[in-house]
Amino acid sequence: MDTKLERVLNIFTQINNIPRKSKNEKAISDWLVKWAESNNFKVERDEFLDVLIKVPATPGYEHRDSVAFQGHMDMVCEKIPESDHDFAKDPIKMYIDNGWLKAENTSLGADNGIALALSMALVTDPDVKHPPIELLFTVDEETGLTGAVNLKSNWLESKKMINVDSEDDGVFTIGCAGGRDAKIYLDGVEIEKSNFTDSIKISVGNLKGGHSGVDIHKEKGNANIIIARLLKEIIKNGIDFGISDIKGGSAHNAIPRNCYTTIALNRDSLERCKTIISELFGKIKDEFRAVDPDMTLSLETVIYSEKIVIFHPNKIIDLILSLPHGVIYNSNQIAGVVETSCNLATVSLEDGKFRVFMSQRSSVASRMDELCNKIDSIVTLSRGKVEFGGGYPGWEPNFNSSILNEFKDSYKKVFNKEPVIEVIHAGLECGVIGAKYPGMDMISVGPTIKHPHSPDEMMEIETVKNIWDLLVEYLAN
């Protein structure tokens, strides 16, 4: 393996030895500060644990304009149901498979740990020539862009920024969608008295899932919606039942891979109920055979207790099936780009309330408002409550930007071909940072990463070297 590449991957391994789930970045933030101090770099940290490291120029480059490298510390923590991995303390276990770096039964964290590793390797390599560099590492990008949102507007001195959070080698990202979350609450659906005798746990799992921005157009299955479809079929067949538990999804920006519900019903309906569920599941699995061929169904008889609170199924199921999910609008300006989408991310019963968490994305502000108004209307009709928050701005593309033209020249010099220029539907911190630093000239690049936000996440090793070569050329020229 190339020694430069090996050094990047060694740093990435050190990063993956430190648990860094969103909102749990204290340890990785501390480690970055110590790393900067050990290299005699000036380092600052804000109250949110964002880290800014200032690296002096190499000899001969002192009078050039500074450039910022930016990435986020946190990762989406997903694992297969059988895994006993504890993201609060266990390191990510990695291995190489046919040129791809993967993790054992968990997400890899290349999104966005590789940004840290590349940046740190570049500024400590004596062979790399560069102007003054600022390394900006933010927290909690995955669950609210907290670090970027709370970033001080007078911290960065650079007028150009390289975000290392794109996931396709040879592709330059110059724009992204904005986002907004929705928390939905539905209460008053308890059954005061029930005469049920038995309970079954219905579990749908092993879906592919994926990033709710990058993968939303692939129309993968949503485990929450599939569970609701199964329960609706029971209702349509006249079987009386109640819901004692339901839980699905893991994060606002991950398409739900697993969902389960426990229902109470009468013993004489038990086998018929299982038959109805199994028959419909077979049809649903056939619908998704191309994108979710490994989808599974589990029906488990569990102990029924009269002490368990039972909920009316109708309101819960109708709300899930009424809420939007997937692509709402495709862009009518850029072919092949999703403009507006929605992810029905998590469902749960907590403290006597049915809760839904949703994530909306759009590159058009008025379309975002339209989608949120639709959700508000559906929840109002369901006699529930909705709170919108977590909003972040999109990043308006500039096809004539200086940094884009400079990167295109560097790419052609290194690879003797033209790069692909794109605007993506996923959210990037560039939109938030650009709003705090008007006029900041930005570009997003990165190695090829497949299936982010899922246990299938993997990074193509060769493309890490490609990004290294590109960045070295750009910084030197």
**Structural domains for the chain:** 3-176+394-476 (3.40.630.10), 186-351 (3.30.70.360)
pLDDT over 70 for what percent of the chain? 99
State the Cα–Cα distance between residues 129 and 61, nearest whole angstrom.
8
Task: Supply 333's token pair.
Answer: 């300006």
> Tell me, what's the pLDDT at 144?
80
Q: Which residue from 8, 50, 6, 46 is spatially nearest to 32, judged by alpha carbons?
A: 50
Cβ atoms of residues 276 and 284 within 8 Å? no
State the Cα–Cα distance between residues 243 and 247, nearest whole angstrom.
11
pLDDT over 90 for what percent of the chain? 86
Q: What is the dihedral of CA 235, 237, 239, 243, to 10 degrees?
A: -30
> Tell me, what's the pLDDT at 10?
98
- Which of the residues 74, 134, 456, 460 is marked catalytic? 74
Using pLDDT thresholds of 50, 70 and 90, give the confidence band for residue 323.
Answer: very high
Using pLDDT thresholds of 50, 70 and 90, give the confidence band for residue 151.
Answer: very high
Stronger pLDDT, 273 or 188, i.e. the higher one: 273
> Tell me, what's the pLDDT at 275?
98
State the Cα–Cα distance between residues 358 and 345, nearest whole angstrom.
5
Please give the average per-residue pLDDT across 437-460, as a whole number: 95
Stronger pLDDT, 282 or 254, i.e. the higher one: 282
Residue with tokens 């390797």: 121
Q: Which residue from 4, 219, 9 is spatially nearest to 117, judged by alpha carbons?
A: 9
Q: Is 141 a catalytic residue?
A: yes
Provide the pairing of β-strand 449-450 with 458-460. antiparallel
pLDDT at 43 over 80: yes
Task: Supply 35's token pair.
Answer: 């790393």
Angle value at C-alpha 210, between 32 and 81, nearest 5 degrees: 85
State the Cα–Cα distance between residues 64 and 106, nearest whole angstrom.
42
State the Cα–Cα distance between residues 210 and 15, nearest whole angstrom.
23
Using pLDDT thresholds of 50, 70 and 90, give the confidence band for residue 114.
Answer: very high
**Which pLDDT tens digit goes with each residue over 273-314?**
999 999 999 999 999 999 999 999 999 999 988 888 899 999
What are residue 107's phi and psi, to 5 degrees?
-65, 155
pLDDT at 192 over 80: no
Q: Is 74 a catalytic residue?
A: yes
State the Cα–Cα distance between residues 427 and 390, nearest whole angstrom.
12
Q: Which residue from 331, 385, 326 is spatially nearest to 359, judged by alpha carbons?
A: 326
**Which pLDDT tens digit goes with each residue over 47-67?**
999 999 999 999 999 999 999
Q: Which residue from 282, 213, 241 is spatially nearest to 452, judged by alpha carbons?
A: 213
> Tell me, what's the pLDDT at 472?
98
Task: Supply 314's token pair.
Answer: 């109708």
> Tell me, what's the pLDDT at 72?
98
- With residue 161 as reference, give the H or E element that holds it: strand 160-163
> Tell me, what's the pLDDT at 426?
83
- Which of the residues 141, 165, 169, 460 is marked catalytic? 141
Q: Which residue from 433, 457, 397 is spatially nearest to 145, judged by alpha carbons?
A: 433
Q: What is the mean pLDDT of the chain?
A: 95
> Tell me, what's the pLDDT at 57?
98
Cβ atoms of residues 16 and 85 within 8 Å? no
Q: DSSP letter string over 113-124?
A: HHHHHHHHHHHT
**Which pLDDT tens digit goes with each residue over 352-364?**
899 999 999 998 8
State the Cα–Cα distance between residues 190 and 170, nearest whole angstrom.
54
* DSSP reduced 3-state for 57: coil
Cβ atoms of residues 74 and 23 within 8 Å? yes
pLDDT at 79 over 90: yes
Cβ atoms of residues 433 and 160 within 8 Å? no
- Side-chain-facing half-sphere of 294: CA atoms under 13 Å: 8
pLDDT at 193 over 80: no
Please give the average per-residue pLDDT across 400-425, as a whole number: 96
Residue with tokens 């599939």: 226
Q: How far is CA 263 from CA 146, 241, 300, 441, in A?
A: 38, 7, 11, 54
* DSSP reduced 3-state for 461: helix
Please give the average per-residue pLDDT across 157-181, as a whole number: 95
pLDDT at 1 over 80: no
